[in-house]
Every structure is written in structure tokens, then in C-alpha cells.
Amino acid sequence: MGSENEARRWLRQSEADLKAARDSFKARNYEWSCFQSQQSGEKALKAYLYSLGFTSQMSHSAKLLVNKCIGKEKGFLKAKAAASWLDNYYIPTRYPNGLDGEVAPADYYEKEDAQKCIKYAALILGTVKRFIRI
């Protein structure tokens, strides 16, 4: 039996992070939109795993987390590419030394990057909502 309360908390935060990503997108803060999308996807996957009884999900890799989910529900296969893509936005969206060259994340990420990240986060969140039992 899973931890329904913990799963609900993580799912709620995933939804809030996706809203924040959309708000950042509207404000043209594309680097934050990308990062918040990654956070939404990561937290949604953790919510699913918590609902199954997993504890202490320390990884920040959406790809590793989605692989755990796939081990429990093959329906997560459709979210694997999205999770892998979002992993690219965990560090370099926040730290200037996470990028090559002398550009800051605020100047590097573009509208199209944020749109794709939001799309992938929404796909992961939707997949979790389809399979989570809380």
C-alpha cells in the first residue's frame, strides 16, 4: 500500500510547478519556464511512485524515475522521451556555468524551448493522473 498523503502532496506541487512554468512563459522568463517544467515532471513521477509505496525518491532524473514507473505500469512508456528531454533542463537553466560560452541562462533559452518543456511536463503529469490511484 502506498502513501496517499505523500503522493497527493507531490502531485499538488507538480501541478503548481506546471502553472508556474506557464506563468514564467507568459513573462518571457523562458529559462525558469524550462526549469519549472522539469520540476513538474519530476514531482509528478515521484507522486506516482509514492502512491505505490516507494519512499525517499532522491533522484532528480526524470528519466530514471520514469523507468521505475514503467517497471510498474507499461503505460508510462509514452512519457519516457519527454522525461529524458526534461532532464536537460535541470542544471543549465539555473547556473551560468552550466552552459558553454559566456551566456547566462536568461539569455540562452528561447520561447520554443519553453513551449516544448511545458508540453512534455503536461504529458508526464497527464500520464501520472491517468495511472495514479489516490
Residue 118 has pLDDT above 90, yes or no: yes
Which CATH architecture best describes the domain 4-131?
Up-down Bundle (1.20)
Give the residue ranges of DSSP H helices in the chain. 4-26, 30-51, 62-72, 80-86, 105-108, 111-131
Report whether 38 contacts 117 (CB < 8 A). Answer: yes
What are the extents of the domains in the chain? Answer: 4-131
Confidence class for position 2, pLDDT limits 50, 70, 90: low
pLDDT in tens, 89-109: 999 999 999 998 889 999 999
pLDDT in tens, 45-64: 999 999 999 887 678 999 99
Report whether 79 contacts 124 (CB < 8 A). Answer: yes
Looking at residue 101, what is its pLDDT?
A: 82
pLDDT in tens, 11-41: 999 999 999 999 999 999 999 999 999 999 9
Structure letter (DSSP) for residue 78: G
CA 23 to chain centre: 16
**Separation of alpha carbons 33 and 41, rounded Å:** 12
Residue 42 has pLDDT above 60, yes or no: yes
Report whether 51 contacts 4 (CB < 8 A). Answer: yes
Residue 3 has pLDDT above 80, yes or no: yes
Confidence class for position 134, pLDDT limits 50, 70, 90: confident
One-letter identity of residue 50:
Y
